[in-house]
Structures are given as structure tokens and as C-alpha cells.
């Protein structure tokens, strides 16, 4: 199925109330691939309304790792029933893959490879590849071992240039590897060090368990990018762009109520300075500027720190330097922007004192933004929480509360 047609089907299924009927109109050999492209929520809805026979038929066209991805979202009782109806070869592979945590290297791996000794000839290798192709219908990656341990891989192009009687060992190419229980972040770190390559998954005893292909890693990067975007926005992972209004309300109202509570907190700080504002209403014009700049600066810091944590560039024991650097950066940016906003206040409002107050408030609030933007994701990491999840609410609350307090407090003292 071409990409354009598949995307059209994904849109029709996601946007229709009759999605199961549309899904059943797809040729059986393409149903599994379309199902994998849908959101988890719609996947589960369709799977729950398909019979066991229909599910087994579409699973037979997928690779074992793809079958595993779909079966992991099905309850254990039905999963066992479906496994019993699958062919023995695919069942054995899927049962093997289901043993592992889906968020680890083993959960990402495929079994589409052959493992051969380095001293065999290309003629012998040819027979091994043919057997694999007859069994799976796919050309495998060729992993070379020496005394049972990974030695490297054989690049596919070598098969076209090597002589049949030559031994494959002279053409070994190094390939990165990772232990099976390492999490997704460590898999991504290895891939970034060896882009456009495969990663071999090893067991505790260094034996080969499977192989992770670059397209699986690219899907993981896409998924994590989407999840980070949802986390920053406070949107549920299961929410789809084509969901009904009521579904969207159910997924968002709690987050908005929390935001409302923090907005009242910021408003309560402003209420402490009612007399100051009533004396100089012009202060109200500059309040959103101070708070907004702090929120933006804090979110910038948050994005950088979360990325560092994800790539394991930052550890809690080295966090002090990161926090100090972000505070210094916030202070310098505060001075630059403080000078600009002070000049506007002096030229526009003819008030040097107001310019001084808003300039100082800008510097202090951007320092606060740098501090909280760095410390909040580190605290969440310490608490074993997702450092990107809902962190912006705490940062914007801190910059709003402290920004208003500093700006209006300085105005009260100096004006």
C-alpha cells in the first residue's frame, strides 16, 4: 500500500464514527499496517470490536515485533487465546518478545537477522540466507559471531563482490550494541552516536537477543517528540485531533482547573498592591510584560534542561553548574531586555523612575526564570516523574508570582 493511500485511510478511520466498517473494507493483507498507524485509543477500540479470527488473520501478515506491539495493548486472557491460534513459528517469536519490557532495548528489537560464525564461506552463508528468506519472506541482517560473541555485521553489498569460496570474516564491520534492559533514552543515545545504523541487543551473558533497526528508532524519536509536546501543553496522550468536543473536555479540564488555581495565586499577589496600582495605573500596562518575559525565559530553560536529561548530558550530581549557568544567562538576558524596556518607559512615559523600576524587575524576574526553569525538571527527575510533564505550570506560576511581587514591591518602595 502506498503512503498516500495509507494516510487517507488513517484519516478516514480516525474521523469517522463507522471506523470499524471502514477498517473491514481494507484488504486483509494491509489491515495490520493500517492498525499500527492509528492512535492507541482508536487501535484499542477497533481491536475490541474485531473477532479473534479477524485479528489472527491480520496478525499473520505482520512481523513478530509488530505483532508484539499490538498484543501488548490486549488483556492477558485474550492475548493468550490469540497466541494459541497463531502459527507456531510466529507464536514462539512473539512469546519470546512479550517477555521484555516494551520501554527497553529488548522491547524495541526485531528478530529479523541471522547469526553466523566468522569462518564460514560466502557459499555457506548463501544457503543460510535462502532458508531465512523462505521462512520469513525477508532478507536478514547478517550478524557475525566469534566463539558465541558478537564480532560485527556483514554489509549486504559485500555479497555482490566477494567470491563464493572466501570466508566472511575478512569483511566484518563493527556494529553498536546495547544490553537488553537499557531504557529507551539509552537506546537513543547509542543511535545518536552511530546514526543510520542498526543496534544489536545483547543478553546479560553478551549473547545476541535481537536487533534494533533505524526505522524503529526513528518511530521512537517521533513518539517521544509528540509526547513531549503533549506534556508541555498538558494534553492527554490518548487525545486525537479529530476527537469530539466532549472527549477533548474530559482530557483537558483538570489541567485547566490547575491553571486557574495558579492564576488566582498570581492575582492574590497583585491584590496586595492595590493602593500602589490605584496611585499609578500605568503600572498595570507593564505588569504583563514582566510576567510574560519571565514565563518565556523559564520555558526556554526548561526545554534545554529536559533535553539534557533525556540525552543524559545532565546528572543530578552535576546539576549545580547547570543551575548557576542558567541563572547567569537569565541575568544577562534580563539586563539586555531591562535596558530596552526602561528606554521605552523613559521615552514614552517620560518617567526615568518607572524605567528604572521595570528594568530592575525584568532583570530579577529573568534570574528567577532561569533558576526555576532549571530546578523544576531536576526535582521531577529526582521524584522519578517525567521532567517534561506539566512543568510549565510551575515555571509560569513562579515567574508570575515573583515577577508581580518584585515589580509592584519596587514601585511601592520607590514611587
Q: What is the pTM of this model?
A: 0.57
What confidence tens digit (pLDDT) does each residue in 51-63 have? 999 999 999 888 8
- Which pLDDT score is estimated for 83? 92
What confidence tens digit (pLDDT) does each residue in 103-132 have? 899 999 999 899 999 899 999 999 999 988
Domain covering 107-212 in this structure, CATH number: 3.10.580.10
Alpha-carbon torsion, ordered 188, 192, 195, 199, to 10 deg: -40
The CB-side HSE value for 109 (13 A sphere, CA atoms) comes to: 30
Query: How is the chain split into domains, by residue range?
Result: 3-99, 107-212, 245-414
Contact 100, 74 (CB under 8 A): no
Beta-carbon contacts of residue 119 (< 8 Å; ≥ 6 apart):
167, 169
Q: What is the average pLDDT across 264-283? A: 85
Instruction: Name the one residue in this structure whose C-alpha cell is 479540564.
Output: 253
- Which pLDDT score is estimated for 387? 61
Q: What is the average pLDDT across 28-35? A: 88
Q: What is the average pLDDT across 179-202? A: 86
Which CA distances in Å does 181 have to 98, 253, 366?
Answer: 14, 37, 41
Residue 179's pLDDT band, with cuts at 50, 70 and 90, is: very high
Contact 290, 401 (CB under 8 A): no
What confidence tens digit (pLDDT) does each residue in 234-271 have? 554 555 555 567 766 776 677 678 778 878 888 888 88
Q: What is the overall mean pLDDT for the chain? A: 84
- Which pLDDT score is estimated for 117? 92
334 or 395: which leads in pLDDT: 334
Which DSSP symbol is given to 243?
-
- Which pLDDT score is estimated for 388? 59
Return the CATH superfamily for domain 3-99: MgtE N-terminal domain-like (1.25.60.10)
144 membership: H or E segment, kind and range: strand 141-146
Backbone dihedral angles phi then psi of residue 121, each to the nearest 5 degrees: -90, 170
113-117 β-sheet, strand order: 113-117, 141-146, 149-153
219 or 67: which leads in pLDDT: 67
Distance between CA 115 and CA 145 in Å, rounded?
7
Beta-carbon contacts of residue 30 (< 8 Å; ≥ 6 apart):
1, 6, 61
The CB-side HSE value for 169 (13 A sphere, CA atoms) comes to: 8
- Which pLDDT score is estimated for 156? 87
Return the CATH superfamily for domain 245-414: SLC41 divalent cation transporters, integral membrane domain (1.10.357.20)
**Is residue 196 pLDDT above 80, yes or no?**
no
- Which pLDDT score is estimated for 224? 63
- Which pLDDT score is estimated for 242? 54
Beta-carbon contacts of residue 188 (< 8 Å; ≥ 6 apart):
217, 220, 221, 224, 310, 311
**Is residue 225 pLDDT above 70, yes or no?**
no
Which CA distances in Å does 222 have to 218, 225, 227, 229?
Answer: 6, 5, 9, 11
Q: What is the average pLDDT across 393-404? A: 86
Amino acid at each position: 500500500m502506498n503512503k498516500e493511500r495509507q494516510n487517507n485511510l488513517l484519516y478516514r478511520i480516525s474521523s469517522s464514527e463507522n471506523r470499524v466498517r471502514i477498517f473491514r473494507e481494507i484488504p486483509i493483507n494491509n489491515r495490520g499496517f493500517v492498525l499500527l498507524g492509528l492512535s492507541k485509543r482508536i487501535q484499542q477500540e477497533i481491536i475490541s470490536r474485531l473477532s479473534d479470527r479477524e485479528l489472527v488473520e491480520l496478525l499473520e501478515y505482520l512481523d513478530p515485533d509488530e505483532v508484539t506491539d499490538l498484543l501488548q495493548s490486549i488483556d492477558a486472557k485474550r492475548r493468550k487465546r490469540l497466541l494459541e491460534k497463531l502459527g507456531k513459528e510466529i507464536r514462539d517469536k512473539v512469546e519470546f518478545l512479550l517477555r521484555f519490557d516494551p520501554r527497553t532495548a529488548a522491547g524495541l528489537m526485531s528478530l529479523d537477522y541471522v547469526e553466523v560464525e566468522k569462518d564460514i564461506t560466502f557459499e555457506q552463508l548463501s544457503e543460510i540466507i535462502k532458508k531465512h528468506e523462505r521462512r520469513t519472506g525477508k532478507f536478514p541482517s547478517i550478524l557475525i559471531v566469534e566463539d558465541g560473541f558478537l564480532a560485527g555485521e556483514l554489509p549486504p553489498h559485500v555479497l555482490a563482490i566477494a567470491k563464493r569460496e572466501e570466508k566472511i570474516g575478512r569483511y566484518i564491520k563493527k556494529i553498536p550494541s546495547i544490553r537488553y534492559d537499557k531504557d529507551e533514552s539509552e537506546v537513543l543515545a547509542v543511535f545518536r552516536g552511530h546514526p543510520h545504523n542498526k543496534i544489536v541487543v545483547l543478553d546479560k551473558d553478551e549473547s545476541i537477543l535481537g536487533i534494533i533497526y533505524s526505522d524503529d528508532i526513528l518511530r521512537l524519536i517521533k513518539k517521544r517528540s509528540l509526547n513531549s509536546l503533549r506534556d508541555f501543553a498538558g494534553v492527554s496522550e490518548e487525545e486525537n485531533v479529530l476527537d469530539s468536543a466532549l472527549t477533548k473536555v474530559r482530557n483537558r479540564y483538570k489541567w485547566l482547573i490547575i491553571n486557574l488555581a495558579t492564576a488566582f495565586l498570581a492575582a492574590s499577589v497583585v491584590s496586595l498592591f492595590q493602593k500602589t496600582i490605584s496611585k499609578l495605573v500605568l503600572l498595570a500596562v507593564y505588569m504583563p510584560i514582566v510576567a510574560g518575559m519571565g514565563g518565556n525565559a523559564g520555558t526556554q530553560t526548561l526545554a534545554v534542561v529536559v533535553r539534557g536529561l533525556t540525552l543524559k548530558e545532565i546528572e543530578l550530581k552535576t546539576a549545580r553548574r547547570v543551575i548557576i549557568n542558567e541563572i547567569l544567562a537569565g541575568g544577562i538576558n534580563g539586563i539586555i531586555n531591562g535596558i530596552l524596556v526602561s528606554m521605552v518607559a523613559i521615552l514614552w512615559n517620560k518617567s526615568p523612575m518607572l524605567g528604572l523600576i521595570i528594568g530592575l524587575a525584568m532583570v530579577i524576574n529573568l534570574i528567577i526564570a532561569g533558576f526555576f526553569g532549571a530546578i523544576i525538571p531536576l526535582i521531577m527527575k529526582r521524584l522519578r516523574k517525567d521532567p517534561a510533564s506539566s512543568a510549565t505550570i510551575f515555571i509560569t506560576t513562579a515567574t508570575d508570582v515573583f515577577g508581580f511581587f518584585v515589580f509592584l514591591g519596587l514601585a511601592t518602595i520607590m514611587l
